[in-house]
Amino acid sequence: MAPEARTDAPVNNFSISRAADSEFKGDGLRAFLEYRDLGIKDATGGRWRASVSHSLRAMPGGTGRHRHTLDVQVVYVLKGWAVFEYAQYGEVRVEPGDCINQPSGIVHQQADRSADCYVLEVVSPLDFPTYDAKLEPFVEPDPSTGRIDRYSLSRASETPFTSHPLRPWLERRDLGIARATGGRVNAHVSRCREPMPGPTGLHSHDLDFQMVYVLAGTCRFDYGPHGVHDLVAGDCVHQPPGVPHDLLSRSADCQILEITSPAEFSTQAL
């Protein structure tokens, strides 16, 4: 008799959200925004969520100071600009390529945002409480708890690309998330430093979470049982733990944002 399937196993489904087929909806928290869901919440059973918000019009004013209780909140600006307010950090203007780690409990508000602004936000879990709050300094978790959760800001204009640890023909820009979260999460942008020499070879990773968002250019992945897929700017893939995949090709101008949990994980050639 075959063993019964576990009912408590986490949901980890392969998914692709294509920019060409996506729809922005105005059913989110802010009436001046519309949101595009990237399929991550369904693919992970709500353990993670990723969405792109787009301004319908200029902001009518600040969102009001508030705080969230959650595990991860990463904000990456795709287009336009936005201004966030934090107590000891003041008003912070972010532009394309800038990335913020907003630690759990930090009091903040979105103070302004351009009418053409697009922001990618990744959170864990999907549902978390939000509280109105007064502007007060953020206090990092007590080191004795073993949890690291810091505010961080990585500016595209100030953060260089460096050698990629796995692919010598790539270079990557670290977004500071691994350091800010004590290695619970990593985020980086990769780009070609020279022509791709050929497919990477079929391999898999031992990790809890991995999403890929194409920022520019095109690429082709072989996802084994899930087929070969051509991806373009705005496409997003949830690569479940252990899924076989092979990067077959990548345009010279291709840039990919990759977010993983944890930051360090093993890779197996298949």
Q: Is the pLDDT of residue 149 over 60?
A: yes
Q: Give yes or no: residues 26 and 128 share one domain.
A: yes
Question: Is the residue at 1 inside a domain?
Answer: no
What is the DSSP code string of 96-152?
TT-EEE--TT--EEEEEE-TT-EEEEEEESS---EEE-------PPPGGGT-----E
Q: Give yes or no: residues 93 and 170 share one domain.
A: no
pLDDT digits (tens, 9 = 90+) for 170-186: 999 999 999 999 999 99
Q: Give yes or no: residues 22 and 66 share one domain.
A: yes
Boundary of a domain, candidates 122, 154, 186: 154
Question: Is the residue at 6 inside a domain?
Answer: no
Distance CA(180)–CA(159), nearest Å, equals 15
Q: Is the pLDDT of residue 37 over 90?
A: yes
* Number of domains observed in the structure of the chain: 2
Could you list the residue range(s) of the whole structural domain that residue 177 is in? 162-269
Question: Is the residue at 143 inside a domain?
Answer: no
Q: Give yes or no: residues 265 and 169 share one domain.
A: yes
Q: Give yes or no: residues 76 and 166 share one domain.
A: no
Q: Give yes or no: residues 178 and 251 share one domain.
A: yes
Distance CA(144)–CA(135), nearest Å, equals 26
Question: Is the residue at 40 inside a domain?
Answer: yes
Question: Is the residue at 8 inside a domain?
Answer: no
Q: Give yes or no: residues 24 and 129 share one domain.
A: yes
Q: Is the pLDDT of residue 3 over 90?
A: no
Distances (CA, A) of 149 to 88, 143, 210, 259: 16, 10, 20, 17
Supply the pTM of this predicted model: 0.94
Facing residues of 238 across strands? 15, 211
The domain spanning residue 33 has which CATH number? 2.60.120.10
Q: Is the pLDDT of residue 25 over 90?
A: no
pLDDT digits (tens, 9 = 90+) for 188-224: 999 999 999 999 999 999 999 999 999 999 999 999 9
Q: Give yes or no: residues 242 and 187 share one domain.
A: yes
Question: What average pLDDT does this structure show over 32-47?
Answer: 95
Q: Give yes or no: residues 124 and 177 share one domain.
A: no
Report pLDDT for 62.
Answer: 83
